[in-house]
Each structure stands twice: as structure tokens, then as C-alpha cells.
């Protein structure tokens, strides 16, 4: 059954196009052209565009958090791990096709229109916040800090998207996070 392959190709095209040009600016026909998957098959796999959008966000969510977790796992010191998040954000921002946070952008585009998209955005952000909360807890830091680190990360993502200024927002957010961690008695191996 190569419908699994077709599904992957469709999602690959969706990810490139939706992320790069915005969701409403991309038609189902563009997805077909970029993926080589016929319209008929596309509509078998995803009965409506909205479901393709949600599937795109879901798959990207999995991959995004995995990449982050992989990077963070490269550090041993629990205090350092919290800050490693910002290193990774900087790497992400540096990528040439970086255009901001896919979920924030999608929310801006469809948050008022599509409940399913909104739900997916909230799910993703909650998962990210929970992940940070785990890192903060493991470092023996107070739980309030998790939310504060989260806000810094979100601010860095929005700003990096709008300014297209590369990793700078992540570095600045990382310095702020370091101050907050040390202010709470945290220690940070270099």
C-alpha cells in the first residue's frame, strides 16, 4: 500500500508550501503540483484542506519537539539544559528558510476561523511548555521559572520571525534566561 508514501509526499509539500507562503496562499492544486499526488488521492487521504493543515501541524510538532529534545539531550548538566533550549532556537532561526513559528503564524492566519487549527496550536504550545517545565524541575528550579522561560522563548520566536534577524533574539533571550536561573540560585555549567 503506497498510500503511506503518497501521504508523506503530500505532507512534505504541504509543509514546504504552507510554512513558506502561508496556508491561505497555497491551493490544493499547488500541493498536487509540488507533491505529484493527484487531487483524487489527496482528497482520499485528507477529505478537506483543513485536515491536511492539521496533519501538517501535527507532524511538524512531532519533528520539531524531537529535534529540540535531541539537542538538549546533548548536555549533561540540568541547569545547562534549560539554556540549551535557546542555543537550539538560535540554530533554528539561522536556517535560510526560517519564517517564524509555524504555529504562531497559523494561529494568526486561521485562529479566528478554524477551531481545529486553534486546538492544534494550543496543543503544541502546551507540549512545549510542559517540556520546559520538566527541564526546570529537573534542574531543581522553582516552577514559576518554567513559564518565564517559556515566555522568553515565545518572544524570541515571534521576534525572529518578524525581524528575520537570525539568532540574535535567541541569544538575548538566553542571556535573560540565564539571569533568571542564576537569580533563583541555579548554577549553570558553561
Partner DNA sequence: CGTGGGGGAGAACGCACGTTCTCCCGCTCG
Partner DNA sequence: CGAGCGGGAGAACGTGCGTTCTCCCCCACG
d(CA 153, CA 157): 6
Residue 185: count other Cβ atoms within 10 Å of its Cβ.
9
Smallest distance from its own copies to CB 78, Å: 20
Per CB under 7 A, the segment of 21-29, 55-63, 64-72, 142-150 that binds DNA is 21-29
Smallest distance from its own copies to CB 126, Å: 9
Q: 10: Cβ–Cβ under 8 A, 6 or more apart, which residues?
A: 31, 35, 37, 42, 45, 46, 52
Which of the residues 36 through 75 are near DNA (CB under 7 A)? Answer: 36-41, 43-44, 47-50
**Contact partner at residue 109 from DNA, its own copies, none, CB < 5 to 8 Å by partner kind:** its own copies
Q: What secondary structure does DSSP assign to 55-120, as a single string?
A: HHHHHHHHHHHHHHHHHHHT---HHHHHHHHHHHHHHHHHSTT--S-HHHHHHHHHTTT-HHHHHH
Complex with its own copies: residue 90 or 169, whichever CB lies closer: 169
Nearest by Cα to 61 from 11, 92, 103, 1: 103
Complex with its own copies: residue 82 or 110, whichever CB lies closer: 110
Q: Which residues bind its own copies (CB under 8 A)?
A: 20-22, 24-25, 99-100, 104-113, 121-122, 125, 144, 147-148, 150-159, 161-163, 169, 172-173, 175-176, 179-180, 183
| 34 binding DNA? (CB under 7 A) | no
Q: 58: Cβ–Cβ under 8 A, 6 or more apart, which residues?
A: 120
d(CA 53, CA 60): 11
| 20 binding DNA? (CB under 7 A) | no
Which of the residues 116 through 175 are near DNA (CB under 7 A)? Answer: none
Say how many residues touch DNA, by CB under 7 A. 20
Smallest distance from DNA to CB 108, Å: 17
Q: Interface with DNA by CB under 7 A: which residues?
A: 3, 6, 24-29, 36-41, 43-44, 47-50
Amino acid at each position: 500500500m503506497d498510500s503511506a508514501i503518497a501521504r508523506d509526499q503530500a505532507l512534505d509539500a504541504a509543509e514546504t508550501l504552507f510554512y513558506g507562503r502561508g496556508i491561505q496562499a497555497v491551493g490544493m492544486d499547488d500541493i498536487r503540483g509540488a507533491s505529484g499526488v493527484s487531487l483524487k488521492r489527496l482528497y482520499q487521504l485528507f477529505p478537506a484542506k483543513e485536515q491536511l493543515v492539521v496533519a501538517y501541524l501535527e507532524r511538524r510538532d512531532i519533528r520539531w519537539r524531537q529535534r529540540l529534545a535531541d539537542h538538549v539531550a546533548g548536555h549533561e548538566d540540568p541547569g545547562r539544559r534549560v539554556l540549551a533550549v535557546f542555543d537550539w532556537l538560535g540554530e533554528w532561526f539561522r536556517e535560510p528558510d526560517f519564517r517564524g513559528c509555524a504555529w504562531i503564524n497559523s494561529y494568526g492566519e486561521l485562529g479566528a476561523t478554524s477551531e481545529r487549527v486553534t486546538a492544534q496550536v494550543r496543543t503544541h504550545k502546551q507540549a512545549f511548555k510542559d517540556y520546559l517545565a520538566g527541564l526546570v524541575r529537573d534542574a531543581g528550579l522553582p516552577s514559576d521559572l518554567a513559564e518565564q522561560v517559556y515566555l522568553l522563548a515565545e518572544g524570541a520566536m515571534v521576534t525572529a520571525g518578524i525581524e528575520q534577524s537570525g539568532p540574535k533574539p535567541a541569544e538575548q533571550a538566553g542571556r535573560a534566561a540565564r539571569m533568571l536561573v542564576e537569580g533563583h540560585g541555579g548554577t549553570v555549567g558553561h
